[in-house]
Structure formats: C-alpha cells, structure tokens
C-alpha cells in the first residue's frame, strides 16, 4: 500500500486550501506556522512536500538536509522568500500558483478593453461631475475589430478566447510559439512583432517584463501601428513605454489606452497618465478578486499533490520548460528518449562536452524540456554520483560544464515524429566516440530505436539489452550465439547492422547475462566492444512520468 504523503503547511493557509488538503485520503498534514530557520531545518526532511505563503523563509540552511522533501508550493505568486538556487541544487521543485489568477486577470484586461472602446471611465467621470455628453463619448464596436494579443501564454490565450466570443478577429505575437495558428486555427500567430502591428485595431499585452519586453511598444513600434490604435496593458508597467504612449496619444497615433500597471507603482500623484482624458487607469487590480485570492491556496495544494502523485506538473518556478501534462504520444516519446539515453550511456567513455537532443515533428515541441531533462538523466546518472532528478539535472549538467542543445525540426517526409540524442565527448568529436541514437514511435504506438551511431535497425528498447560491436567478418554471429547458448541465456530478439568494416549486434536477452559471459565475449577475436543495459520492460499503457 502506498504510504501517505507527509505535507507540512509552514504558513497559515486560507481555509479553502486547508479544507482541500484535509480532504485528501493519501496525505498527512502537519500545520506549523511561524517556525524559525533552525527549527524548520531540523524537521523539513520528514516531509514529502511543503506549502508556504510569504511568511516563512526557506533559506539554504533550511534545505541543507532535505531528507524526503521533493517540492515546495507557494500559495501565491512571489517566491522571494524561497532560495530557488538552494532548492534547485537539492533537486526540490518549487511551484507557485500564478495560474490561479489567470482568468481573473484576463477578465480585468477584457473589462479594460471594453471600457476603453466605449469610454466608460470618462463618461462616468463626466456624469459624476454633473455633466451629460453623449456625442463626445461615441465609442467603437468590438465585433469585427482585430485584437493583437502580445504574449500568448495563459492570460493572453484566455483574453483571446473571450475576444473570439465577442466576434473579434484575433492575431497574436509570441516568439516562443512556433505554430502558424492557435486555438484551433482561430488565431493567426506572428513570430515578429513588427509584422503584427499594422493589422491590429487594439493591442493587449500579456508578456513578462524582462530586457526583451521592456518598452516593447515604443516610439518606433507605435509608428508601425494602425492610426488610432487602442492599447491595453494589464501585464507589467514599462512594457508599454509611458513616454512613447503619451506622445502617441498626443499625435493621435494612439486613440486611447487602459493601464492596470505602471513603471512606478503607485505612479506619482502628478503623473500625466492619471489625468489624461484618453487614458483609463486602475491600481493594479488584475489579480484582485475574491475567487483568485481563495484559489491560490487550493491551487498550490493541488499542484503539490499532483506532482507528488506523479500526475502532472503545473506552476513550476525552478524548472523552465518542464511539463508533465503531456499527451499520450508525447509521453511515449519521453519514455523512449529516456530508454535511448540509457542504452547509449555505456558507450559514453570519458567526459561529456555536449548533449544534443533533436526533436522532429511539431507534436513534440511542448515536450522538449521534459525530453531533454529525462534524456540527460538517462545519459548521466551512471556517470555521476549525485542523484539526478527532473529538477536538478539541468543544473548539475551545467555546473559540470556540459553544454545542452535541444533543436526542434520539421518532421521528415516519411518517418513521422522522431527523437535523436547525440553525445559529444570532451576532447572533440569522432564518429566512434560521439554516440548518437535515433528513435521513433510508429502507428502501433510501440517505441523503436532505428539507429545507433550510424547502424540502422528497428528494435524495441526494453528489458536486458546487450550491444556488441564487432569486425564485420564471417562467424561473428555464430560465435556470439554459441556463447549465449552455452551460458544458458536465451536470446529473445536481435538486430544486426553493418557500417564500413564493423557491425553492431543489439541483442535482447530473456535473462541477465552473467559478467563472465560478457567478459569472455570481450576477449574473443573480432569483438571490439560489449556493453549491457537493463531497461524497464516495454510499457503496456502510456507511461507515467514523475
Ligand atoms: P505566461 O508565462 O503564461 O505567458 C507569458 C507569455 O509571454 C508566454 O507565452 C511567453 O512565450 C511570452 N513571451 C515571453 N517573452 C516574450 C517576448 N519577448 N515577446 C512576446 N512574447 C513573449 O504568463 P501569464 O500568466 O499569461 O502572465 C502574463 C503577464 O501578466 C505577466 O507579466 C504577469 O506578471 C502579468 N500579470 C499581471 C497581473 C495583474 O495584476 N495585472 C496578474 C497576473 C499576471
């Protein structure tokens, strides 16, 4: 029977979050808010997971001996109270509950958009001051207008869905989404902002603030917009350059803007943005709803449990690109890549300089981070004495100077999606010393290895597998078969492939061959290399990832 997950609530959680945790039969909850560093460090290793808010400080000292701790969930967004570097070093996943405010923030952005189109703010202001001006506040209809969504992540998509329901055309810019359309073909995607701008009547921003996005809408990019463009920013202040916005409003290039966020919050009392007749402002209310505030604690608790149960990964803060919410085909490829990596791991001699993971086929793009991490674990685990997991593997590889490269490519005409892993050893690449393995999943949904270092084959990587590299000369197959037979080891399946003057036999055995057999083979003339790998049996159902 699965033992219960032990969870520590190290801060006081909202009632909804506590109720959720208490209702789960497979966990044991301990509530200990207000612990100091030393007290927490002493007990932290007894728990599988921790839920925190912003009170408790998770320092490197707290995580020094993490014992069985696998994940820390922050009920809320900011993770300033958690030392992410220390958590990553120890292989501990840090989650937050940014998703809990997705709908709430999207609704606020949409409310701003509607208010902007119909001058609700100014109309209210005029009426509240005793006025009545119908002509001045004639608006525009949203239906039929084109909305440009900048940043097509959680909130951007949610805004887009609402805009489609309002009869708007939606186009989006997100350089990290490599697809011509999104939302079932309803949204045209652009990978260059400048290409989108001339087509949008209204722009709404949903990107994180960083060096690439600061001032994304500036004097230059404003000039590429349609004259009279409307602008909504409910992401972060500074993404729309405030001076450029004021200039565009004055010149008429921008007909109006709605801002929930500002480069300085609160903006100075005399900020022209506060009083501009064509700017609608709200004081960073995007995530401010009763539902979102309650949802953060439930969300943190469910995300933590889903991860511990191996059911999925949401809200990961210290593992960029990792996803566990994969579709069945992606899961098969993730499992296949891990098997492939383990299969070629013994062929890696000496240090590893670079690992390249090549993914062909758009179906695999969203699984790239997960495939990369699991491939690395498969490749490196036997060569390192640090226990590797999905959280720390990238970090450990980088600390050791191993370069990582994941390339996503168009799918080849004939073969369908494919994954390849190539290892470049330290000291430079040579054909023998740079193991490369290629795998596919065909329509029968069975994983196959189709190439190892230029030797072609078609074999399911599962169970006990022995790789024999030999000189391509008569009698080698007989020799190997006889040795296996004499040792009483049944060969279940085999692939033989030749290249130049050497050949590779990939043998699947029913039972594990003894070391003596492998050593005998290694000393037979014509045999160049023998390695054995034990892989899990072939999955009968879609594999679980955790
Ligand atoms: P997300 O991570 O789900 O989506 C962000 C998207 O931006 C991703 O798809 C990413 O690929 C894209 N992106 C990254 N760099 C880009 C670039 N240079 N150009 C274009 N696209 C780029 O995040 P989310 O949850 O949708 O949040 C979006 C923004 O909203 C964040 O800045 C967040 O801080 C902000 N936010 C504001 C409030 C509020 O109270 N107003 C509340 C919640 C979130």
CB atoms within 10 A of CB 268: 10
pLDDT at 429: 54
Express as a percent the part of the chain with pLDDT over 90: 66
Q: Residues 224-276: pLDDT tens digits?
A: 999 999 999 999 999 999 999 999 999 999 999 999 999 999 999 999 999 99
Whole-number Å distance between alpha carbons of 4 and 305: 11
Pocket test for ligand 1, best of 103, 153, 197, 291 (most atoms within 8 A of CB): 153
93-96 and 146-150 beta bridge pairing: unpaired
Distance 397 CA to ligand 1 centre (A): 28
Q: Tell me the mean pLDDT in the region 505-513.
A: 94
Whole-number Å distance between alpha carbons of 59 and 389: 21
CB 146 within 8 Å of CB 170:
yes
Ligand 1 atom, smallest distance to 99 CA: 25
Ligand 1 atom, smallest distance to 288 CA: 40
Compute the residue count for the chain.
546
Pocket test for ligand 1, best of 111, 149, 151 (most atoms within 8 A of CB): 151
Tokens of 441: 């999943």
Contacts of 379 (CB under 8 A, 6+ apart): 341, 342, 344, 345, 348, 352, 355, 421, 423
CB 371 within 8 Å of CB 364:
yes
In 3-state terms, what secondary structure has residue 240? strand
* Angle at CA of residue 153, ends 149 and 157, nearest 5°: 55
Pocket test for ligand 1, best of 178, 208, 213 (most atoms within 8 A of CB): 208
**Angle, to 10 degrees, between the axis of helix 515-522 and the axis of helix 476-486?**
160
Contacts of 401 (CB under 8 A, 6+ apart): 353
Distance 206 CA to ligand 1 centre (A): 4
- In the residue annotation, 499 being an active-site residue is answered as no
Out of 27-31, 255-259, 398-402, least confident range: 398-402
Ligand 1 atom, smallest distance to 177 CA: 11
**Closest Cα to atom 19, ligand 1: which residue?**
174
Q: Residues 407-464: pLDDT tens digits?
A: 887 766 567 889 999 999 876 655 456 899 999 998 888 899 999 999 999 999 999 9
- In the residue annotation, 276 being an active-site residue is answered as no
The one-character DSSP state at 352 is: E
pLDDT surpassing 70 at residue 545? no
Distance 18 CA to ligand 1 centre (A): 29
List, as own/partner pairs, every contact residues 491-497 make where C-beta atoms lie below 8 angstroms and the sequence separation is at least 24, other chains included: 492/463, 493/459, 493/460, 495/457, 495/458, 495/459, 496/457, 497/452, 497/455, 497/456, 497/457
Q: Residues 76-92: pLDDT tens digits?
A: 877 878 998 899 888 89
* Angle at CA of residue 26, ends 22 and 27, nearest 5°: 50
Tokens of 502: 């050497």
Express as a percent the part of the chain with pLDDT over 70: 95
Pocket test for ligand 1, best of 107, 183, 206 (most atoms within 8 A of CB): 206
pLDDT at 287: 87
In 3-state terms, what secondary structure has residue 41? helix
CA distances (Å), origin 400, targets 89, 267, 392, 419, 436: 13, 45, 12, 25, 21
Q: pLDDT tier at 352 (50, 70, 90 boundaries)?
A: confident
pLDDT at 167: 98
Ligand 1 atom, smallest distance to 155 CA: 26
Whole-number Å distance between alpha carbons of 190 and 11: 43
Q: Return the top range by mean pLDDT from 104-118, 279-293, 373-387.
A: 104-118
Beta bridge partners of 93: 71
464-471 and 502-509 beta bridge pairing: antiparallel
**Closest Cα to atom 40, ligand 1: which residue?**
286
pLDDT at 431: 47
- In the residue annotation, 236 being an active-site residue is answered as yes
Distance 248 CA to ligand 1 centre (A): 24
> How many Å separate Cα 36 from the centre of its chain?
33
Q: Tell me the mean pLDDT in the region 176-203.
A: 91
pLDDT at 178: 67
Read out DSSP for 309-324? TTS---SBSSSTT---
Out of 345-354, 447-456, 463-472, least confident range: 345-354
pLDDT surpassing 50 at residue 525? yes
In 3-state terms, what secondary structure has residue 280? strand
pLDDT at 191: 87
**Domains, in order of start, for the chain:** 5-96+291-308 (3.40.50.720), 102-281 (3.40.50.720), 328-534 (3.30.1330.90)
Whole-number Å distance between alpha carbons of 236 and 211: 13
Distance 363 CA to ligand 1 centre (A): 23
- Residue ranges around ligand 1 (CB below 6 Å): 98, 101-102, 105, 150-156, 173-176, 206-209, 212-213, 234-236, 260-261, 284, 286-287
CB 187 within 8 Å of CB 240:
no
Q: pLDDT tier at 2 (50, 70, 90 boundaries)?
A: low
Distance 189 CA to ligand 1 centre (A): 16
Out of 127-136, 249-258, 306-315, least confident range: 306-315
Tokens of 496: 């033989």
Mean pLDDT of all residues belonging to the chain: 90
**Active-site choice (265, 291, 398, 471):** 265
Q: 540 vs 128, which has greater pLDDT?
A: 128
Q: Tell me the mean pLDDT in the region 369-381.
A: 90
pLDDT at 522: 94
């Amino acid at each position: 029977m699965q033992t219960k997950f032990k969870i520590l609530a190290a801060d006081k959680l909202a009632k909804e979050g506590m109720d959720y945790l208490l209702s789960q039969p497979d966990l044991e909850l301990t509530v200990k808010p207000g612990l100091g560093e030393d007290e927490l460090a002493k007990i932290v290793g007894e728990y599988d997971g921790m839920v925190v808010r912003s009170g408790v400080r998770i320092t490197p000292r707290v995580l020094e001996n993490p014992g069985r701790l696998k994940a820390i969930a922050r009920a809320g967004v900011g993770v300033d109270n958690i030392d992410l570097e220390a958590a990553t070093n120890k292989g501990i996943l840090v989650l937050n509950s940014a998703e809990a405010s997705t709908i709430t923030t999207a609704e606020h952005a949409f409310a701003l958009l509607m208010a902007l189109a119909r001058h609700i703010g100014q109309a209210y202001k005029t009426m509240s001051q005793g006025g009545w001006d119908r002509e001045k506040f004639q608006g525009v209809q949203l239906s039929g207008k084109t909305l440009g969504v900048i940043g097509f992540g959680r909130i951007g998509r949610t805004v887009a869905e609402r805009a489609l329901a309002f009869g708007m055309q939606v186009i989006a810019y997100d350089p990290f989404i490599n697809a011509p359309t999104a939302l079932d073909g309803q949204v045209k995607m652009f990978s260059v902002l400048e290409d989108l701008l001339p087509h949008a009547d209204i722009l709404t921003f949903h990107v994180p603030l960083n060096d690439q996005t600061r001032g994304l809408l500036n004097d230059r990019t404003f000039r590429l917009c349609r004259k009279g463009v409307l602008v909504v920013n409910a992401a972060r202040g500074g993404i729309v350059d405030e001076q450029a916005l004021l200039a565009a409003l004055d010149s008429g290039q921008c007909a109006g803007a709605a801002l929930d966020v500002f480069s300085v919050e609160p903006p100075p009392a005399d900020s022209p943005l506060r009083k501009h007749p064509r700017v609608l402002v709200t004081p960073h209310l995007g995530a401010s709803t009763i539902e979102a505030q309650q949802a953060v604690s439930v969300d943190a608790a469910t995300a933590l449990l889903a991860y511990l149960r191996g059911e999925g990964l949401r809200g990961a803060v210290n593992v960029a690109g990792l996803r566990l919410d994969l579709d069945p085909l992606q899961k098969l490829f993730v499992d296949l890549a891990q098997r492939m990596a383990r299969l070629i791991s013994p062929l890696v001699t000496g240090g590893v300089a670079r690992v390249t993971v090549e993914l062909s086929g758009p179906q695999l793009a969203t699984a790239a981070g997960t495939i990369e991490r699991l491939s690395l674990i498969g490749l490196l685990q036997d060569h390192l004495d640090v226990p590797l997991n999905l959280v720390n593997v990238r970090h450990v590889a980088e600390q050791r100077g191993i370069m990582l490269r994941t390339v996503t490519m168009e799918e080849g005409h004939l073969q369908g999606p494919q994954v390849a892993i190539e290892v470049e050893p330290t000291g430079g690449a040579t054909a023998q010393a740079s193991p490369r393995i290629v795998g596919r999943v065909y329509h029968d949904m069975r994983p196959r290895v189709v190439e190892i270092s230029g030797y072609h084959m078609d074999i399911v990587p599962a169970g006990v597998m022995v790789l024999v590299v030999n000189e391509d000369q008569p009698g080698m197959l007989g020799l190997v078969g006889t040795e296996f037979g004499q040792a009483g080891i049944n060969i279940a399946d085999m692939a033989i492939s030749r290249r130049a003057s050497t050949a590779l036999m990939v043998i699947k055995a029913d039972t594990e061959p003894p070391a003596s057999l492998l050593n005998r083979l290694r000393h037979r003339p014509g045999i160049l290399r023998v390695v054995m790998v034990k892989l899990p049996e072939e999955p009968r159902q879609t594999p679980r990832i955790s």
